[in-house]
């Protein structure tokens, strides 16, 4: 059996940066309360919990005077201000690319555009973008959700950073027939694009793909969908313990890819076991 690992793979810049900030805060203060899960990977969250991490579901769950951590997905402006008012320290791990998307949304709203956010309305990054605008926006997860009978004057479009460029193009194309003016910001992160291109290449070269990453990770799910769409037999595992070794044993070439929220230690654990097989 031959093994091929997608390149690049694993933690993207924004998540790696945020986890580094969190680890330093844990080392300095001993205990940190994150507003929401700091990374969409249960195994990594468990590792950080052993270092003193606590996770709050909302601002009210963060104790007064705590050391608070804002994850890479970002938070609405009002929540960030609330944290700064009640906590002695706020470590802001918002990804710079997410911050750019937030600022783009703010500027579009200020300029009077009807803001359209392409993404998952339930995703924390999208909620953070919406919370930085100060007004309502239209959120669509695909071109099929756009009302073809509605007319628009000026429309400003941007994307959740982990979406697919081809799908963003479909959304933009739909508005060409519905709006008098369109302004588009491609806020999809370059790391996301690179990982999606990488798994396309990988799927064409192997007879089986293993994608490792948290099942609550949007970018990992995209990799699985791309691999499956190309006809490659695909397994999605969170860690090596979930690996179907019978499935692997009949493959001559196996490709390994990981979402942008999958830490190196989980990827290495899986590849080492595959190598031994």
Active site amino acids: 125
Instruction: Print burial letters for 126-160: b (CB count within 10 Å at least 16), e (below 16).
Output: bbbbbbbbeeebbbbbebeebeeeeebeebbbbbb
Find the DSSP H helices in the chain. Answer: 13-29, 42-50, 77-86, 96-110, 124-130, 165-176, 190-205, 218-229, 245-249, 264-276
Q: Rounded CA gap, 141 and 71, in Å?
A: 23
Q: Which residues contact 182 (CB under 8 A, 6 or more apart)?
A: 154, 155, 156, 157, 172, 175, 176
| Nearest of 117, 91, 80, 106 to residue 24 by alpha carbon | 91
Name the strands in the sheet holding 209-212, side by side, starting at the edge strand that comes first in the sequence: 2-5, 253-258, 209-212, 234-237
Task: State the residue for tokens 């938070």.
Answer: 75
């Amino acid at each position: 059996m031959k093994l091929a690992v997608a390149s690049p793979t694993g933690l993207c810049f924004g998540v790696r940066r945020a986890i580094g900030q969190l680890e330093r805060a844990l080392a300095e203060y001993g205990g940190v309360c994150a507003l929401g899960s700091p990374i969409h990977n249960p195994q990594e969250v468990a590792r950080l919990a052993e270092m003193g991490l606590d996770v709050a579901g909302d601002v009210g769950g963060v104790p007064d005077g705590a050391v608070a951590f804002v994850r890479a997905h970002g938070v609405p402006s009002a929540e960030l201000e609330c944290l700064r008012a009640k906590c002695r320290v706020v470590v802001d791990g918002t990804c710079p690319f997410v911050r750019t998307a937030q600022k783009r949304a703010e500027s579009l709203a200020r300029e009077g555009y009807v803001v359209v956010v392409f993404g998952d309305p339930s995703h924390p990054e999208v909620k953070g973008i919406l919370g930085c605008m100060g007004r309502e926006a239209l959120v669509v997860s695909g071109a099929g959700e756009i009302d073809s009978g509605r007319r628009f004057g000026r429309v400003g479009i941007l994307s959740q950073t982990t979406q697919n460029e081809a799908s963003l193009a479909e959304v933009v194309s739909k508005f060409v027939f519905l709006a008098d003016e369109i302004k588009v910001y491609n806020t999809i992160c370059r790391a996301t694009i690179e990982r999606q291109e990488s798994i396309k290449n990988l799927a064409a070269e192997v007879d089986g793909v293993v994608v490792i990453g948290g099942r609550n990770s949007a970018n990992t799910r995209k990799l699985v969908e791309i691999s499956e769409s190309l006809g490659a037999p695909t397994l999605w595992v969170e860690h090596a313990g979930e690996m179907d070794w019978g499935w692997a044993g009949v493959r001559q070439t196996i490709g390994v890819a990981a979402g942008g929220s999958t830490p190196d230690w989980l990827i290495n654990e899986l590849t080492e076991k595959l190598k031994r097989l």
